[in-house]
Chain A
Amino acid sequence: MTTTLSRTAERTGSVQVRDVRRTFGRGRKQVEALGPVDLDVRAGEFVSIVGPSGCGKSTLLRAIGGLIRPTSGRIELDVVGDHPLAMIFQDYGIYPWKRVLDNVRFGLDIQGVPRREGDLRARDWLERLGLGDFAGSWPHELSGGMRQRVSIARAMTADPEILLMDEPFAALDAQLRALLQEELLQISQRDPRTVLFVTHSLAEAILLADRVVVMSARPGRILLDRQVPFGRPRTPDIRRSPEFAELEDELWQTLRAEVTEQLGTQREALGGASDGSR
């Protein structure tokens, strides 16, 4: 399709988040989950978002993806195509009732891409992610790592302008995780596009991203916004450089203060009333 060609010439898909807040529930049960948050992501930029548990990272991502609306503020996505978004979820989000190939082709089916072309593009991504032999398998026949690869393949096959990733590797073991990080690093460098990547892992965030954003405890605001001091293409070896350690340490110090404070308030809440156990 022409959108693919035009995009390689000029990157599209930028995100502007302006003063966005989100609350959940009503009345006494109302919880401020997010904000106010301001964030700009340039077209083609890879931004990692880290923050303590429950800080609203996923909420922000879901708001950008249009799964929920902000309670106030405004998000703008500047895009070109009709189907500019794809998202990769923590629990893979692939459908048990579709074979691997059909899962990977899902985004293209939605876009109305003809079956033959869809199959070709889906197979291409399956090959690239080492899943070529599993096109006809059912998801339940695959391991967790392979399922997450299917999920990545599904997103990449759709060729989105903006790719949202919500802790995509959280459910994987450490070795598999390292491996998939490296795969994603390769993919994102060969096929650059706008990515918002939510994770708990600071090393993962730095390795993959052009920019790392640290969010505060709930309601999540942006505490720190750092450019990653490594150009592209880069390799996983940057993990061993002093600059990597330095940035990781800076991010951790910021995050640590937040997590500690969060634990403190939780203890207080537990001491005060037996409420809010969730």
Chain B
Amino acid sequence: MAVVDQASPTSTPARGRTIVRQPSRAELDPERTHRRRRLLETALAIGVPVCLLLLWQAASAWNWIDGRLYPAPTEIGRRGWDLITEGTLWHDLFSTSRRVLLGWALGSAAGAVLGVLMGSSSLLRKALEPTLDALYVVPKLALLPILFNIFGLGEGSQIALVAITVFFFVWIATMAAIMSVPEGYRDGGHVFGAGRWQMFRHVVFPAAAPQMMVGARVAAGVAVLVIVAAEFLVGEDGLGYLIFSSRNLFINDAMFVGIVVVALLGVLFAQVLRLLERVLLPWVDHRDGGSGQ
């Protein structure tokens, strides 16, 4: 009796109906529903990239795309294996990772410190915000020539470039995070007589940390992006160098190896930070595998 039409045609008003609320399969068998859901999620997470790769392979095999410009995944895999066994890929990966990590750490630290200071002091904010806002919009790659003048053509400039890029992301995220700590949390500290440092350590920093972490994670992705460009411009080693020099030499499969490894590096870095966040900030509710950036 999902819908009940009332019999008498005239006396009753509009037709009546019955809305039924009853359990669906999800309520009747939650275990099974959950299992199936997980299975589907895993299948999709693996299946979609695999399908894309297969599509690419097929496109190569049937010559829908030019195999010399866009080598098939198997070609790229073979070349990747060669580069690994020769040892050059490890060297490039290591160089790039080192630059990214050092630059990210330096930039994050500086951004966090300045963000905390500016978030806490409105005077400092008034003094520095216009300048930093102006610097923020300057494309960081345009600073590279200046960095060459300061640090020379080697490692220093590249690490500095990553650090500067990361700095701005973390600075803005931290400042916003500190400023948006609810007044109620601070009030609690004040009433209990917390000093500046105690307030920061017990209240403001933990409250702001999750949002700061988001800034650091976004910055990690951008760090990888920037280093690839820098390595192309400076060019002695690193994944960026691998990509662009291979292209110049028309070794397209090696170029794609570089691109794939860069992508993997970015994913790995973001995952590590996510893991770190779970350990460092256990009070944050990380539901649903915590995907969204």
A72 CB contacts on chain B under 8 angstroms: 23, 27-28
Docked complex: A86-103 residues within 8 A CB-CB of B: none
| Contact size range, B | 20 to 34
Docked complex: B27-71 residues within 8 A CB-CB of A: 27-28, 30-31, 34
Q: Does A6 contact B (CB under 8 A)?
A: yes
CB–CB A27/B19 < 8 A: no
Distance between Cα atoms of A79 and B24 in the complex (Å): 22
Q: Does A263 contact B (CB under 8 A)?
A: no
**A206-218 Cβ-contact flags toward B at 8 Å (1 or 0):** 0000000000000
- Cross-interface CB contact of B23 among A26, A64, A71, cutoff 8 Å: A71
- Chain A binding surface SS class: mixed
**Closest CB-CB distance, B198 to chain A, in whole Å?**
26
CB–CB A9/B30 < 8 A: no
Distance between Cα atoms of A62 and B202 in the complex (Å): 39
Distance between Cα atoms of A6 and B13 in the complex (Å): 6
Q: Does A73 contact B (CB under 8 A)?
A: yes
CB–CB B20/A74 < 8 A: yes
A74 CB contacts on chain B under 8 angstroms: 20-22
- Cross-interface CB contact of A69 among B4, B17, B22, cutoff 8 Å: B22
**A1-20 Cβ-contact flags toward B at 8 Å (1 or 0):** 01100110110100000000
Residue in B15, B23, B28 whose Cβ sees the most chain A Cβ within 10 Å: B23
CB–CB A9/B18 < 8 A: no
- A-B contact count, CB below 8 Å? 67
Q: Does A132 contact B (CB under 8 A)?
A: no
Distance between Cα atoms of A139 and B241 in the complex (Å): 56
CB–CB A77/B18 < 8 A: yes
CB–CB A69/B14 < 8 A: no
- Cross-interface CB contact of A80 among B13, B23, B27, B28, cutoff 8 Å: B13
**Closest CB-CB distance, A2 to chain B, in whole Å?**
7
CB–CB A80/B21 < 8 A: no
| Nearest B-chain residue to A78, judged by Cβ | B18
CB–CB B22/A80 < 8 A: no
| Nearest B-chain residue to A6, judged by Cβ | B13
Distance between Cα atoms of A71 and B28 in the complex (Å): 6
Q: Does B16 contact A (CB under 8 A)?
A: yes
Q: Does A81 contact B (CB under 8 A)?
A: yes
A22 CB contacts on chain B under 8 angstroms: 27
**A22-41 Cβ-contact flags toward B at 8 Å (1 or 0):** 11001100000000000000
B26 CB contacts on chain A under 8 angstroms: 69
- Cross-interface CB contact of A26 among B16, B18, B30, cutoff 8 Å: B30
Q: Does A52 contact B (CB under 8 A)?
A: no
A-B contact pairs, 25 of them (CB 8 A): A6-B14, A9-B13, A12-B16, A66-B19, A69-B21, A69-B23, A69-B24, A69-B27, A70-B21, A70-B23, A70-B27, A72-B27, A72-B28, A74-B20, A75-B20, A76-B18, A76-B21, A77-B21, A78-B18, A79-B17, A79-B19, A80-B16, A80-B17, A81-B14, A84-B19
- Where the two chains meet, the residues of B that have a C-beta atom closer than 8 Å to any C-beta of A are 4, 12-24, 26-28, 30-31, 34
- Where the two chains meet, the residues of A that have a C-beta atom closer than 8 Å to any C-beta of B are 2-3, 6-7, 9-10, 12, 22-23, 26-27, 63-64, 66, 69-81, 84
